[in-house]
Structure 1
Amino acid sequence: MDLISATIVGDKREDCIDNASLSLKHEKWPILIFSHGLGGSRNFYSTFCTSLASHGYVIAAVEHKDHSACWTYNLIEKNGELVEEPIKITLIEKNDSEEFRMRNQQVNQRVSECVNALKLLENLNTGVAPEKILIGKDFDWRQFENRLNLSTAAIIGHSFGGATSLAASASNGFQKSIVLDGWMFPLDSCQQQTSIKPILFLNVGDWQWEENLEVMKRMLPNNEGNLVLTLNGGVHQSFSDFPFIFPNWLAKHFAVQGSTESTLCIQAAIELTLAFLENGKEGAQRLKDEKFFNFITNEIYGRERFKILGV
């Protein structure tokens, strides 16, 4: 696999500096929590997350331990050493009678993990560094003391992470949520009703379908600041790193690149996210109308060209 990866993917690096100090340009920095999709990991969205970080956001990318990540681990102590205890993905058949119950349990655990990530940032802001942050002894966690703006905390998620962000937005800690091609199935009716903070839904038309969009339709009236935009020519993985790690012909073969250029899709997702975080529904709508009108629409449709009128 190393040989195949080196041949096809090559040497890919995240556009960041390892263990860099927090910038002194501003006194306080806004914070974001990011939740990955089913079968994903915290590393699959480095393009999106590092780009937001470059605009002045401190981002905690959570790797979920609900058996929905492609692979993760707990660290346990054996013979005086910390070793990795694997947490493998649990595959659930689509027509399994227990599917909703299991997915809803997973989304509840995911919410708890996102809330805990927010609490961790809150602790860092007060000068308390948790004991089990395993990044090495040389990193100075005290630099976050009184440097984080907790009042505007927001949560972002892709696919299953989109459902996670909506369920987590019921927490008083999150002021906005951004849903990148969200998968609504794991949410129960209570979670749909309690997601009352402003939401930006950024959908890929070719991936969405009627039942999924119906859930979004029920949630739209929860807040006047909600907005749904549909990206034409993208694919479900347009928000991840996958379109950028393969050559174009292979990316199209694996269906991780659509007819709209991948760099344009991710650019739109980043800029619309920033506009929504900073200026809400009006800011994102204005940016879409001025810059991305040729491939992003307010029309809501799925793979069956299902349309919700009057939105």
Structure 2
Amino acid sequence: MTPAPARQQQAKKKDDLGSSSDFESSPQRQASGRNGTGNGNGTRPPPAARPPKTLRERFLHSLPAYTGPHHVGYMEIELPARDPRHFSHIKRNHEHALKLDTVLFSVYYPCELDQGPGGRRKERRSAKLARPPWLPRPRDQTSKGYAKFLSISHVPVTAYIALTSMFTKLPAFRNARISDRWPPVAEGGESDVEDGDGGGETRKTDDEDRGKPKFPVIIFSHGLGGSRTVSSAICGELASFGFVVVAMEHRDGSGARTFVNKVGESPDLDSQDLDRETPAPRNEKETRGKTKTTRKTKPYYMVDYIFPEDNAKDTSPHNTRGVDTELREAQIEMRLAEIEEAYFALGLMQDGQGDRIAEENLRKKGNVGSSSKGLNGIDWEEWKGRLYLDSVTLMGHSFGGATTVQALRLEERFSWVSQGILADAWGPAMPESNGHRRVQKPVLSIGSEAFMYWKDNHKRVEQICREARAAGALCWMTTIRGSTHLSQTDFAVLYPNWMSLLMKTIVNPRRAIYLTVHSALEFLKITLPPQQTRFNQAWADEELLKFNSTVDDSETEVSFDHQPDDKWVAARLKIPNEFSLRLRNWFRWRRNVNPIVPRDASGKPLAGLLNWGAGKEIWVHLSPDKADLHTQEAR
């Protein structure tokens, strides 16, 4: 898509983005609270206490605290696969490249920092609970993996990460006790919950009467070059609002670098040594005055990003050869198998078999990539019966969005998945649908403005949304203005200046995360069963997805002011008069002339280069008819 005069762009709009009847631009209603995160009437409960920053974080890059009413716990789990196998015949270095031996994931969940009920365990406050690192261990190797993924020398990448975020911590607490408290009700509000058996009778009760809360589940799938912590801002934020979020680390060659701990002495696993660059350690023994060197088998292997052969840039919009469908479809199939393994582990927690997870967990002291704490301190009995596993939400960024779409199509295999959220999905990587495999479940697509200009990608995502809509499922397709592809990852939050200067990101990165999370919360409030959204008193209600017919059409039309030149499509935006705009912003903030913009909990403005104002931060391209929404709400 190339730049065109304004009138030509207006004429092209129907062809590129859908008919005018379907291209409903729904404005966001800005919260009126001081921090820009309220529900419009100033009654949202306050966020949980913030974890203290480390000394390094005070001078280096840090992640913002989560804004929900819950503290967030964190644990890492690596378990042997129930059915170890490889996917497709694709090989690298004469070894199967896509092989499922173990499954690795992190769990973000609502937690408690004080002592357990009845004084059964010692006091464990935030000062005594460790915070996990943002960069997965071993951190130097992970940095090298990112350099290889970017096809540049690892020395400057490792040095820069070491100087900025090598010691950045997640604002979450490792192995904290899962929360047994209901979140505080907003001032002036009432806590309406159903009876524990779901009998339908609604009653107002105190915390003591309703027992321990049960949490809905989200499984998050990362994109290319990602990891289990690359979208921690989104995963942790959702957990702070009452969700258990499982963040996968896929070992299908789509991540920058990951390590697989081997299980036992299986020769099948020993043959899967992908780390060909570094020779294995050797043992030296003295035999009759001579040194005999024997090769020592490593207890792990490393998986780096797999580039398609003869088509390394299959992710580029300008790639004339298209996507390497053989590799990508095999990767999606392996990703789905990993998600099934993680879901099985959740079932063990739910059934009171958490001790089995602790026994089989490979992320423990002595193993590669592990914390010395492992899963120490977890009381698995407290996880028994605490999860809703009959209507799980799948959420994925980029290639993870393509993974989510395929799971939604496999109704019989993933009957426990009830809806999907696509975060700037990579459309061309999605397998084509057929008459038997079509999306029939609710879908929310939250795209970036940079990807909106990638015409083929936008149309493919739109096809998915229409596929769900044709089956009678609720569907929204939205775009966050001024955002780029990494706006829904932690890189945007940790490196906002580089995002602004190199990718021309216009929206404030933290505001983009907020809009993503609260669009998801609004979507889940509509699509999840009512008993799973009892925490919604704590959710901001800005009606991000609802169509407001009172706003003039001229204010809701999609603007092409920031459409880049063709060579930068999907990679960055264009900022007209960029130098003067940045200069004006610099003088404005220096003079403390702060316009009315969203603010964080500390009162700091969340403005980007431009402030579109209330109702103009999100474009809604597709949305359900009002009649369909009323029908859903009546259920």
Bigger helix fraction: 1
With normalisation by structure 2, the TM-score equals 0.44
Matches within 5 A, 1:286-301: 286-288=543-545, 293-299=615-621
Q: Match of 1:90?
A: 306
- Which one of 457, 465, 469 corresponds to residue 220 of structure 1? 465
Name the structure 2 match of 1:206.
Answer: 450
Shift in Å, 1:155 = 0.7
State the AA in 1 paired with 2:302: P
Structure 2: which 5+ runs fail to align? 1-156, 182-211, 266-295, 364-373, 529-539, 549-612, 623-635
Instruction: Give yes or no for contact 1:34–1:157 (8 Å, CA) kept in 2.
Output: yes
Counterpart residue number, 1:253: 501
* Distance change >3 Å, CA 262–CA 98, structure 1 → 2: closer
Distance 1:60 1:137, change over 3 A: same
- Partner SS for 1:253: helix
* Aligned match of 2:15: none
Aligned counterparts of 2:614 and 2:418: Cα–Cα separation in 1:
26
Cα distance per residue 1:110-165 (max 9 Å; x no partner): 11111221221122101123343233344233321111111331010000000111
Larger deviation, residues 100-109 vs 288-297 = 288-297
Q: Which moved more, 1:266-275 or 1:143-152?
A: 143-152
Query: Which of the residues 459, 481, 485 maps onto 1:232?
Result: 481
Instruction: Say which of 132, 142, 156 aligns to 2:360.
Output: 132
The answer as to whether partners of 1:12 and 1:245 remain within 8 angstroms in 2 is no
> Bigger CA drift: 118-127 or 268-277?
118-127
SS at match of 2:233: helix
Q: Counterpart in 2 of 1:188? A: 431
Shift of 1:219: 2.3
* 1:139-178 correspondence to structure 2 within 5 Å: 139-169=378-408, 170=410, 171-178=414-421
Q: Is the 8 A contact 1:107 1:186 kept in 2?
A: no
The residue that corresponds to 1:44 in the other structure is 230
Aligned equivalent of 1:277, options 514, 524, 528: 524
Give distance in 2, aligned partners of 1:91 and 1:166: 23
Contact 2:225–2:254 (Cα < 8 Å) also in 1: yes
Q: Compared with structure 1, are the counterparts of its residues 139 and 294 closer, same or farther at alpha carbon in structure 2 (3 Å cutoff)?
A: same
For residues 211 and 196 of structure 1, what CA distance do their matches in structure 2 show? 23
Correspondent of 1:19 among 172, 175, 179 = 175
Q: Which residue pairs with 2:491 in the alignment?
A: 242
SS at match of 1:175: strand
Mapped pair 1:106 → 2:331: yes
> Which letter does structure 2 place at the counterpart of 1:231?
I
Give the Cα–Cα distance (whole angstroms) in 1 for the partners of residues 618 and 341 of structure 2. Answer: 34
Q: CA deviation at 1:203?
A: 0.8
Which structure's CA Rg is the greater one?
2
Residue 54 (1) aligns with residue 240 (2): yes
CA distance in 1, matches of 2:226, 2:500: 19
Moved more, 234-243 or 162-171: 162-171
Q: Distance in 2 between matches of 1:84 and 1:58?
A: 29
8 Å CA contact 1:233–1:260 kept in 2: the answer is yes
Q: Measure, in 1, the Cα distance between the counterparts of 2:389 and 2:489.
A: 26
Residues 216 and 387 in structure 2, CA contact (< 8 A), matched pair in contact too:
yes
Residues 272 and 284, structure 1, Cα contact 8 Å, conserved in 2:
no
Structure 2 residue 340 is the aligned partner of structure 1 residue 119: no
Cα distance per residue 1:74-114 (max 9 Å; x no partner): 10158999833101110122256781111111111111111
Aligned pair count reads 297
In structure 1, the partner of 2:251 is 65
Which runs of no fewer than 5 residues in structure 1 stay unpaired? 301-311
Query: Structure 1 residues 139-148 or 175-184, which shifts more?
Result: 139-148
1:264 match = 511
Which is worse superposed, 58-67 or 181-190? 181-190
Query: Which gives a bigger RCO, structure 1 or 2 (Cα 8 Å, sep 6+)?
Result: 2
Flag the 1:285–1:219 CA change in 2: closer, same or farther, 3 A: farther
- Contact preservation (8 Å) 2:462, 2:477: no
Deviation of the 1:292 alpha carbon: 6.2
Q: 1:175 to 1:7 in 2, by over 3 A?
A: same
Matched letter for residue 195 of structure 1: V
Q: Which segment is superposed worse, 5-14 or 155-164? A: 5-14
Aligned-residue CA RMSD (Å): 2.8
Cα–Cα, structure 1 residues 266 and 292, in superposed 2: closer, same or farther, change >3 Å?
farther
Question: For residues 180 and 98 of structure 1, what CA distance do their matches in structure 2 show?
Answer: 20
Moved more, 218-227 or 3-12: 3-12
Tell me the TM-score normalised to structure 1 length.
Answer: 0.86
1:172 alignment partner, SS class: coil
Identity over aligned residues, as a percent? 24
1:40-72 deviations in whole A, cap 9, x for unaligned? 111101111111000011111110011101111
Q: 2:389 is matched by which residue type in structure 1?
A: L
Cα contact 1:100–1:185 (8 A) shared by 2: no
Q: Is the 8 A contact 1:175 1:198 kept in 2?
A: yes
User: Deviation per CA, 1:219-267, whole angstroms, max 9, x where unpaired?
Assistant: 2232430110111100100110001212x43332342x61111111111
